[in-house]
Amino acid sequence: MSELLVERQGPVAVLTLNRPERMNAISGPMLDALSAELVACDADRDVRAIVLTGAGRAFCAGLDLIDQQQGSGLGQNDIGKTTARFDLREAPPVVLHNLDTPVICALNGGAAGYGMDLALGCDIRVAADTAKLSAAFTKRGVLPESGGTWLLPRLIGWSKAAEIMFTGRTLLADQMLELGLVSQVVPADQLAKVAVELGQEIAENAPLAVQATKRMMRMAWNEPFDTHVHHVFLQLLPLFRTGDFKEGMQAFLEKRKPTFEGR
């Protein structure tokens, strides 16, 4: 079976990590498939939102430690090779960060290590009441290798992020909600429905405007205010020339629901 399941529910693409017998622990083929599918969804005009989730009782348990012990895990073949190329441009956390299409993490269970970083890299997180985030890196002798050191302090502040990562702490669903790491917590049997409905709600809006909004939010993390408002203005000008802008204004005047085509 494929280690990544892909399903379309109207304008929402649902990507499911599919190694439930290994709690969706990361393998090389899974990472390659995930990166490729994220890029494909971002290029597909008919996909207006992406839901990322896991099969079974876990979201993602991180790197496959059994593969690592056997010497066949990620990066094992390159260790000690002076000719090895260190290139993360196509790694899922980097791909996630650069997507314009909104990504919702349906956090169905435990997310540890790499899995935690993947969840943090999504735009919105909806958690099942059974979900957990485990920053167990320092308990394994490593560090958050997939974006966590960049993402978590920006999401919840330096002090709390340092406390969680330095201690290797595990957060339960209600703790995640209190910290603002997830938007909502729902019963586990309702998670898929809630996540897809949220994606469909996003998809009803003008996709070019949604994508531009996400792009500007991403850029705002790394630039001063004066620079940012100029970039926002430059993003706004082409939107004024789209059919979706005309449709949005016309629908408002006619007091009806707009129909956006992404043009």
Q: Write the CATH number for 143.
A: 3.90.226.10
Residue 259 lies in a domain: no
Percentage of the chain lying above the pLDDT 90 cut: 81
Residue 55 lies in a domain: yes
Confidence of residue 172 (pLDDT cuts 50, 70, 90): very high
User: Tokens in use for 29?
Assistant: 């083929």
Percentage of the chain lying above the pLDDT 70 cut: 90
Q: Is the pLDDT of residue 235 over 80?
A: yes
pLDDT, tens only, 213-232: 999 999 999 999 999 999 99
Residue 72 lies in a domain: yes
- Specify whether 115 is located in the same domain as 217: no
Mean pLDDT of the chain: 91
Buried b / exposed e over 43-76, threshold 16 CB at 10 Å, is eeeebbbbbbbbbbebbbbbbbeebeeeeebbee
- Specify whether 56 is located in the same domain as 95: yes
- Specify whether 134 is located in the same domain as 193: yes
Task: Answer positive or negative: Cα dihedral of 168, 174, 175, 178.
Answer: positive
d(CA 218, CA 100): 9
- Specify whether 92 is located in the same domain as 215: no
Q: How many domains does the chain have?
A: 2
- Write the DSSP symbol of residue 8: E
Domain that holds residue 216: 207-253
Contact call for residues 148 and 120 (beta carbons, < 8 A): yes
- Specify whether 249 is located in the same domain as 182: no
Confidence of residue 109 (pLDDT cuts 50, 70, 90): very high
User: Tokens in use for 164?
Assistant: 């969680």
- Specify whether 188 is located in the same domain as 62: yes
Q: Is the pLDDT of residue 6 over 90?
A: yes
- Specify whether 128 is located in the same domain as 247: no
CATH of the domain at 218: 1.10.12
* Of 203, 219, 243, the domain-final residue: 203
Confidence of residue 136 (pLDDT cuts 50, 70, 90): confident
Confidence of residue 152 (pLDDT cuts 50, 70, 90): very high
pLDDT of residue 163: 96
Residue 258 lies in a domain: no
Count, residues in the chain: 263
- Specify whether 57 is located in the same domain as 139: yes
d(CA 92, CA 118): 8
Helix (H, G, I), strand (E, B) or coil at 13: strand
* Mean pLDDT score, 169-189: 97
* Mean pLDDT score, 107-133: 96
* Of 184, 203, 222, the domain-final residue: 203
- Specify whether 143 is located in the same domain as 99: yes
Residue 226 lies in a domain: yes
Contact call for residues 21 and 27 (beta carbons, < 8 A): no
pLDDT of residue 144: 83
Residue 261 lies in a domain: no
- Specify whether 182 is located in the same domain as 238: no
- Specify whether 213 is located in the same domain as 180: no
pLDDT of residue 66: 61
